């Protein structure tokens, strides 16, 4: 029996759930799944420019595990770009540190470290058309990820 995977710490969810080649309907594309942990590894190493050791500490995993994660993520991204596949982010064993709320009217994104302080309306334009971005990612999430239950626009009862 394999060992249970350690929870990866992820700063915040990706802004988008998927990317695809322009002009091609998603229904005819093959999909490449990238876990939320692999996304975070890419963000830390390639976007923020952290060393593998620094990034591993932020994700609370070992450096060799981080290296395997980033190698897998880079290979998947390269495959998707070269073969014209859809990139889809989901799954994994992770915990978000921040919540993201996106206004569907003005497009602004609000960030919060307090899970209980979910916005009901946009602080910029007062629209009630807000989406809780953390909720769209599936996986075994701890505090800060998808909440159990459901109901309501933000997954609360």
Residue 41, domain extent = 8-89
Q: How open is the CA angle 125-126-127, to the nearest 5 degrees? A: 90
Does residue 88 have a pLDDT over 50? Answer: yes
Query: Looking at the domain assignment, is residue 35 inside a domain?
Result: yes
Does residue 155 have a pLDDT over 50? Answer: no
Average pLDDT on 88-105 reads 83
Query: Looking at the domain assignment, is residue 97 inside a domain?
Result: no
Query: Looking at the domain assignment, is residue 13 inside a domain?
Result: yes
What's 46's domain CATH number?
Answer: 1.10.10
Query: Looking at the domain assignment, is residue 119 inside a domain?
Result: no
Query: Looking at the domain assignment, is residue 71 inside a domain?
Result: yes
The answer, as to whether pTM is greater than 0.85, is no
With beta carbons less than 8 A apart as the criterion, state whether 133 and 150 touch: no
Predicted confidence at residue 118, as pLDDT, reads 58
Instruction: Give the count of domains, the chain.
Output: 1
Predicted confidence at residue 119, as pLDDT, reads 65
pLDDT tens for each residue of 17-55: 899 999 999 889 999 999 999 999 999 999 999 999 999
Rg over CA atoms, the chain? 17
Helix (H, G, I), strand (E, B), or coil: what is residue 113?
A: coil
Residue 35 or 128, more confident: 35
Predicted confidence at residue 53, as pLDDT, reads 97
**CA 97 distance to own-chain centroid:** 11
Predicted confidence at residue 121, as pLDDT, reads 76
Query: Looking at the domain assignment, is residue 56 inside a domain?
Result: yes
Query: Looking at the domain assignment, is residue 42 inside a domain?
Result: yes
- Which of these, 77, 84, 9, 4, lies nearest to 44 by C-alpha position? 9
Query: Looking at the domain assignment, is residue 117 inside a domain?
Result: no
């Amino acid at each position: 029996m394999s060992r249970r995977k350690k929870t990866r710490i992820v700063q915040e969810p990706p802004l988008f759930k998927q990317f695809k080649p322009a002009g091609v309907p998603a229904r005819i594309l093959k999909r490449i799944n990238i876990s939320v942990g692999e996304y975070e590894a890419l963000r830390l190493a390639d976007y923020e420019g952290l060393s593998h050791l620094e990034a591993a500490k932020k994700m609370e995993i070992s450096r060799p595990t981080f290296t395997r994660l980033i190698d897998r993520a880079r290979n998947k991204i390269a495959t998707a770009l070269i073969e014209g596949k859809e990139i889809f982010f989901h799954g994994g064993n992770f915990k978000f540190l921040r919540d993201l709320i996106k206004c569907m009217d003005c497009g602004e994104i609000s960030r919060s470290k307090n899970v209980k302080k979910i916005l009901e309306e946009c602080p910029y334009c007062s629209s009630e058309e807000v989406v809780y971005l953390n909720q769209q990612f599936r996986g075994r999430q701890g505090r800060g990820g998808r909440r159990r239950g459901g109901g309501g626009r933000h997954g609360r009862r």
